[in-house]
């Protein structure tokens, strides 16, 4: 698969423009070379930075929970995204201010802190447990805590507001222009590579810490501390080398110094591009997704291993 690609990239996405960092590996003369992390302009991300022979990993949810989708009569996420913001969906991108504003058509909550409770979201969407509002891939396969559900927009672990930004700034315009291919909604990587459009896939760099046996994955380490990021410098360079990737001098300096400019955002972008490379090179399976609801509605995290999940009852 990798022979038909010219760009491997990962964007560490944030609601803040200052937190949006990109790392690219570009192929030249049969070798891959990683450039130093840099801030990117979301308006030109796919066309200028990725191109028709590139794949972009991004650490935001791409897809919606199956139970909510069934209530909203959504059977295919890319098509639904085109309708979000229009007709019956005018407020979907505006998190509800009050609990009585929550509905199937306005599921994100809350707009801001101050008395908001997850119980309000459960009642508003007619479910009895937050697990029902999680996608299958939100459950960690190694026994760690499940991800925060897409629609809950409060707290350090929330991902809903970043998802809204990415869907509006990048994904919806690209789908409207037919200028992107979404994995896994439109097929496996082997089906998508070589079709002349940039491929976008959801990723999770924090999971890849364990794939690469990084020190940062240990409980007493934090990616927010530069000294802890430095501990993984030699290992990151080794992983890149094992994947057939060289580092430009400026990129190697950033790694060795612990990403002093971009901090943990640049660190995750670097780990993310190695994760993308490990999948497209065949060192790690992309995922064996058999469930049609997952493939068409919920999406998946590139490289995450599926496992059976038992959910709690789905309605009140």
The answer to whether residue 93 sits within a structural domain is yes
Domain count, the chain: 2
Q: Determine the pLDDT at residue 43.
A: 86
Q: Are residues 38 and 109 in the same domain?
A: no
Q: Are residues 146 and 262 in the same domain?
A: no
The answer to whether residue 291 sits within a structural domain is no
Residue 169 near residue 163 (C-beta atoms within 8 A)? no
3-class SS of residue 30? coil
Residue scoring higher pLDDT (268 or 15):
268
Task: Identify the domain boundary among 131, 151, 168.
Answer: 168
Q: Are residues 57 and 77 in the same domain?
A: no
Q: Are residues 205 and 155 in the same domain?
A: no
β-strand 31-34 against 245-247: which pairing, if any?
parallel
The answer to whether residue 315 sits within a structural domain is no
Question: Taking the mean position of all CA atoms in its chain, how far away is CA 67?
Answer: 20
Q: Determine the pLDDT at residue 316.
A: 47
Residue 135 to residue 176: CA distance in whole angstroms = 25
Task: Identify the domain boundary among 168, 189, 219.
Answer: 168
Structural element, H or E, at residue 125:
helix 118-125
Lowest mean pLDDT among 196-200, 259-263, 304-308: 304-308
Residues 6+ apart with CB under 8 A from 156: none
Task: Identify the domain boundary among 101, 134, 168.
Answer: 168
Q: For the purposes of burial, counting CB atoms within 10 Å of the CB of 266, is it exposed (0-12), middle (13-18) or buried (19 or more)?
A: buried
Q: Are residues 52 and 185 in the same domain?
A: yes
Q: Are residues 129 and 224 in the same domain?
A: no
Average pLDDT over residues 220-224: 95
Residue 77 to residue 174: CA distance in whole angstroms = 14
The answer to whether residue 217 sits within a structural domain is yes
Q: Are residues 151 and 204 in the same domain?
A: no
Residue 76 to residue 185: CA distance in whole angstroms = 8
Q: What is the pLDDT of residues 74-103, one digit of tens each?
A: 999 999 999 999 988 999 999 999 999 999
CA-based nearest residue to 303, from 202, 216, 215: 202
Residue 313 has pLDDT above 60, yes or no: no
Q: 307: pLDDT confidence band, cut at 50, 70 and 90? A: low
Q: Are residues 112 and 193 in the same domain?
A: no
Residue 102 near residue 109 (C-beta atoms within 8 A)? yes
The answer to whether residue 307 sits within a structural domain is no
Residue 116 near residue 110 (C-beta atoms within 8 A)? yes
Average pLDDT over residues 64-78: 97
Residue 37 has pLDDT above 70, yes or no: yes
Lowest mean pLDDT among 7-11, 186-190, 309-313: 309-313
Q: What is the pLDDT of residues 127-172, one digit of tens each?
A: 999 999 999 999 876 656 788 999 999 998 899 999 999 999 999 9
Domain of residue 129 covers: 66-168
Q: Are residues 103 and 31 in the same domain?
A: no
Other beta carbons within 10 angstroms of residue 88's beta carbon come to 12
Q: Are residues 78 and 120 in the same domain?
A: yes
> How many helices (DSSP H) and strands (DSSP E) are in the chain?
12, 8
Residue 64 has pLDDT above 50, yes or no: yes
Question: Average pLDDT of the chain?
Answer: 93
Q: Determine the pLDDT at residue 30.
A: 83
Residue 171 to residue 93: CA distance in whole angstroms = 14
Looking at residue 305, the DSSP 8-state letter turns out to be: P
Q: Are residues 155 and 208 in the same domain?
A: no
Q: Determine the pLDDT at residue 3.
A: 77
The answer to whether residue 305 sits within a structural domain is no
Measure the CA dihedral 224/226/231/236, to 10°. Answer: 80
Other beta carbons within 10 angstroms of residue 176's beta carbon come to 11
Residue 275 to residue 296: CA distance in whole angstroms = 23
Q: Are residues 106 and 141 in the same domain?
A: yes
Residue 195 to residue 205: CA distance in whole angstroms = 26
pTM of the model: 0.94
Residues of the chain with pLDDT > 70, as a percent, come to: 95
**Cα torsion angle, 306, 309, 315, 316, sign:** negative
The answer to whether residue 95 sits within a structural domain is yes
Q: For the purposes of burial, counting CB atoms within 10 Å of the CB of 51, is it exposed (0-12), middle (13-18) or buried (19 or more)?
A: middle
The answer to whether residue 266 sits within a structural domain is yes
Residue 308 has pLDDT above 70, yes or no: no
Residue 198 to residue 183: CA distance in whole angstroms = 11
Other beta carbons within 10 angstroms of residue 149's beta carbon come to 24
Residue 280 near residue 5 (C-beta atoms within 8 A)? yes
Residue 1 has pLDDT above 70, yes or no: no
């Amino acid at each position: 698969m990798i022979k038909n690609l010219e760009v491997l990239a990962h964007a560490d996405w944030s609601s803040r423009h200052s937190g949006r960092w990109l790392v690219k590996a570009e192929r030249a003369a049969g070798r891959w070379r990683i450039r130093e992390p840099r801030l990117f302009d979301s308006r030109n991300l796919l066309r200028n930075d990725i191109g028709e022979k590139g794949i972009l990993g991004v650490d935001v949810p791409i897809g919606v929970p199956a139970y909510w989708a069934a209530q909203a009569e959504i059977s295919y996420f890319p098509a639904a995204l085109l309708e979000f913001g229009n007709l019956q969906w005018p407020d979907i991108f505006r998190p509800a201010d009050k609990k009585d504003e929550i509905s199937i058509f306005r599921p994100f909550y809350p707009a801001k802190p101050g008395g908001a409770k997850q119980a309000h979201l459960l009642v508003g969407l007619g479910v009895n447990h937050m697990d029902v509002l999680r996608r299958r891939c939100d459950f960690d396969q190694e026994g760690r805590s499940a991800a925060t559900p897409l629609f809950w927009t409060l707290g350090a672990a929330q991902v809903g507001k970043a998802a809204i930004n990415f869907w509006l700034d990048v994904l919806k315009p690209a789908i409207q222009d037919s200028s992107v291919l979404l994995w896994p909604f439109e097929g496996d990587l082997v089906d998508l590579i070589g079709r002349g459009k940039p491929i976008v896939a959801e990723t999770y760099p924090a999971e890849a810490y364990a794939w690469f046996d990084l020190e940062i994955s240990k409980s007493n380490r934090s990616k927010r501390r530069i000294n802890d990021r430095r501990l993984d410098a030699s290992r990151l360079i080794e992983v890149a080398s094992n994947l057939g990737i060289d580092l430009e001098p400026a990129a190697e300096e950033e790694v060795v110094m612990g990403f002093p400019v971009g901090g943990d955002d640049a660190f995750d972008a670097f780990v993310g591009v190695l994760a993308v490379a490990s999948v497209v090179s065949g060192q790690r399976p992309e995922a064996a997704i058999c469930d049609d609801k997952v493939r068409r509605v919920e999406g998946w995290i590139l490289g995450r291993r599926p496992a059976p999940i038992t959910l709690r009852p789905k309605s009140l």
